[in-house]
Structure 1
Amino acid sequence: MERKRIIKFGIDWAAILALILCFIVFTAVKGGAFMSQSNMVNILRAMAITTVFGIAATITMAPDGFDMSAGTLGSCSAYAFVSSYLWFGQSLFMSIVITIVTTLILYQLTMFLILVCKIPDMLATCALMFVHQGLGQWYIGGGAVSTGMRTPWNAEPLRTALSDSFSAIGRAPWIIIIMLGCVLAAYIFLDFTKFGRYLYAMGGNKEAAKLSGIDIKKYRYVAGMITAVFIAIGGILVSSRGSSAQVMCCDNYLMPSLAAVFVGRTVGGAEKPNALGTMIGSMLVSTLENGLTICAVPFFVLPAVKGAVLALALIAAYAYKRE
């Protein structure tokens, strides 16, 4: 019995222990180069975008959903943000509003397939990955949205340069503040509101939640709309950080964000997607990537490390569920 408790404690706090171990090992190997203030800011800045996309996935997974199209939709959000600002000369605030509204509109198709057509989440969003890629690249003419480039219809952009306020969103400290704000908002929403409790009830047992009087479709739709807002924020951060919207610029954030969510499910034995756990999972993934990069590990090895983290997180998440 004691042995089982020790094993369960190790699984429940594996993410925290692994994070501490990463700091110890990388500090021992690289010393001040890893633990320097600038590198700590680099880790926080690198994890910010993964965390925001992870929060979007957390909201989706709370009612037992699963969104594979967050990365491609995030790229569409990035196109909308930069094109609104550069091509059409909108203010920074209006560009953000347009981006969020555009993402909400595009997410209606996701909700239609899932709630009306009753297609399983994973199949519906896998199909939409290709739809988002096609629509996004058609809109930008297959190139990118950046300064010095004409529009796909060969018109001159109304704005020819990005302002400091535009670029500041993707730099420290704003990108870190936005990340913390998203985590706090999701934490309060999921843990301290009726909507959050209902989403967790749906994730635990959808049929029981339905029988208890919860409007399954309504709350799943609410979760989808909130997910879309966080995806839009993720796209804004990516394009601001890169000072452009490149083709499929957000696609690579899908797997790290999913890894962060599954790592977060195990933290403290939560056994459910949660905002604080997702942030810890994202920090673990970003710390590993940062430390291995400083240790001169070839960049093409890093995806294998992320995949291993996801696999171990899945093992930890479901090892005791089988019992």
Structure 2
Amino acid sequence: MTGQLRETTTLMRIQDWVVKYGFIGVTIILFVYFAVTEPAFATSSSLFSMLKFASVTAILGLGVTFTMVVGGLDLSIGATAGLAVQLAAMTMVFYNLTGPTAVVAVLLGGLVVGLLNALLIVVFRIPDLLATLGMMFVIQGAKLIPVDGQSVSSGMVLRDGSVAPGSFTQDFLKIDRGFIGPVPLPVVIMIALVALSWFVLSRTTWGRLMYAVGANPEAARLAGVRVGFYHGLAYVISALLASVGGLILVSRIGQGDVNAGSSSLLEAVAVALVGTSVLGMGKPNAWGTLLGALLVGIVLTGLTMKGLQYYHQDTAKGLVVIVALLFSFTLSRKKLRYTPAT
């Protein structure tokens, strides 16, 4: 009986280690594999490019993380990023305004979207998924109306037959193309937002109350927590983060692409879900979301270097999410029990 108890205890320790560190281990193993098999993968330029590529997904994933913390999910986050792309392009190209003006316009647009989502969810009590799904369709259609369904670019012909007077300013393009020392500016923005999100969620009363609202809104309400306020706040933060991701995206592509942000929703949700498995937390968290974005970046960059075609990427991302969910839910819920021998 003592031997069986010792064996069960050992298995439980192994399981705890796998749940806590298994996903980080998978990330390290994949990184080492690609670094060994593709020498160019581990160069500083490649690593910075990978981090830069992951920045938009990570920032949008942070927005999803905040809504998951309060027990919801923002399906409009990709459309909001696409709206940011269009607003920035129209501000500079159509109205010949400055880059900082475009940044302000984009953030105000994100704030409006976040407040509308909060209004639908908190005041009108529409379920989160349905409210943000409807908002997603509204934004996707509304952003095409002023441009007649066309991408916005310098020198384009307007409705009245005139040529657009403005263009993307150099200071605006530096949002994606600038550097702080050797580090690309999008990477700096990503790390700063992750650190700020971690601080808000883990080290402030607001963050702890958001987790309380997500865990049990009725109990939080009985404890005197303003459940509606914190629920709505999460969606405002999500929309603002989506706008920041859109700013990086539009400065990267240099035009108001009407399809920008279309695939961002699934990627953002994926990295936020992946993040729940980090260190066996089983809950949304900022550093986990960053690791999820980096893992997806490692997989996609490595497969691209190995010559796999783009249509393999969705399958690879799906497998990453499934593995993460195994660590986050299946393994963490499976309890080993010791049964004395009879």
- Normalized against structure 2, the TM-score is what? 0.89
- One of 127, 131, 141 as aligned partner of 1:134: 141
- One of 95, 102, 112 as aligned partner of 2:102: 95
1:155 CA drift (Å)? 4.3
Alignment of 1:1-323 (within 5 A): 1-31=9-39, 33-152=40-159, 154-159=161-166, 161-171=167-177, 172=179, 173-319=184-330, 320-321=332-333
- Change beyond 3 A, Cα 1:322–1:102: farther
For residues 191 and 152 of structure 1, what CA distance do their matches in structure 2 show?
Answer: 50
Unaligned runs of 5+ in 1: none
The letter for the 2-side match of 1:201 is A
For residues 153 and 22 of structure 1, what CA distance do their matches in structure 2 show?
Answer: 54
- Change beyond 3 A, Cα 1:211–1:290: same
For residues 64 and 171 of structure 2, what CA distance do their matches in structure 1 show?
Answer: 28
Q: Secondary structure at the match of 2:168?
A: coil
**Cα pair 2:99 2:169 within 8 Å, conserved:** no
1:156-187 per-position Cα deviation (integer Å, ceiling 9, x unaligned) = 3331x323222111125111111112112111
For residues 245 and 221 of structure 1, what CA distance do their matches in structure 2 show?
Answer: 29
1:21-77 per-position Cα deviation (integer Å, ceiling 9, x unaligned) = 11111122112x111111111111111111110111111111111011100111011
In terms of mean alpha carbon deviation, does 93-102 or 253-262 score higher? 253-262
For residues 307 and 248 of structure 2, what CA distance do their matches in structure 1 show?
Answer: 27
For residues 42 and 56 of structure 2, what CA distance do their matches in structure 1 show?
Answer: 21
For residues 64 and 301 of structure 1, what CA distance do their matches in structure 2 show?
Answer: 32
For residues 334 and 142 of structure 2, what CA distance do their matches in structure 1 show?
Answer: 41
**Cα pair 1:266 1:316 within 8 Å, conserved:** yes
In terms of mean alpha carbon deviation, does 99-108 or 146-155 score higher? 146-155
* Aligned-residue identity in percent: 29
Which of 1 and 2 has greater Rg?
A: 2
Q: Secondary structure at the match of 2:176?
A: coil
1:228-255 per-position Cα deviation (integer Å, ceiling 9, x unaligned) = 1101101111100111121120121222
For residues 124 and 152 of structure 1, what CA distance do their matches in structure 2 show?
Answer: 33
Q: Secondary structure at the match of 1:3?
A: helix
1:179-230 per-position Cα deviation (integer Å, ceiling 9, x unaligned) = 1121121111111111111101111211111111101101112222111110
**Cα pair 1:133 1:248 within 8 Å, conserved:** no
Q: CA-atom RMSD, angstroms?
A: 1.6
**Cα pair 1:15 1:284 within 8 Å, conserved:** no
1:127 CA drift (Å)? 2.3
Structure 1 runs (4+) greater than 4 angstroms displaced:
152-155
For residues 269 and 76 of structure 1, what CA distance do their matches in structure 2 show?
Answer: 35
In terms of mean alpha carbon deviation, does 100-109 or 46-55 score higher? 100-109
The letter for the 1-side match of 2:213 is M
The letter for the 2-side match of 1:24 is V
Unaligned runs of 5+ in 2: 1-8, 336-342
For residues 116 and 236 of structure 2, what CA distance do their matches in structure 1 show?
Answer: 11
